[in-house]
Amino acid sequence: MSKYQVLLTPESTQEIRDIHSYIANTLLVPETAKKQVNRIMETIKSLDEMPERYSLYEKEPWHTRGLRKVSVDNFIVFYYVNNNSSEVVIFHVFYGGRNITELMK
């Protein structure tokens, strides 16, 4: 089984930093922030094998473009799989309680 290279966009990297910052500095629970980001990153890293095991995002136009999603606690990781280059591109990481449709525009 071939491994995929997992790449994060600058946007997704910043979103993960923002998640950490919000939990650590606004909610004032830095240890929880660290653990949450670790869980998100472990899930992202696991996409190097069988990245298509998670479902396509239901809404258009993303569904037909192949955007996939995986939930990590209250967060959703959106990503694309490129089988030609064996790459997984992490597109966004959002809090699931937000208006995802608006954020994706």
The stretches in the chain having pLDDT less than 50 are none
The first and second tokens of residue 39, run together, are: 């869980």
Q: Give the start-to-end residue ranges of the domains of the chain.
A: 5-103
- pTM here is 0.93
* Residue 56 DSSP symbol: B
Name residue 85's amino acid. Answer: S
CATH of span 5-103: 3.30.2310.20
pLDDT at 103: 81
- Cβ–Cβ < 8 Å for 93, 10: no
Q: In what order do the strands lie in the sheet with 68-72?
A: 5-8, 87-95, 75-82, 68-72
pLDDT at 1: 60
**Count of Cβ atoms closer than 10 Å to residue 14 Cβ:** 12
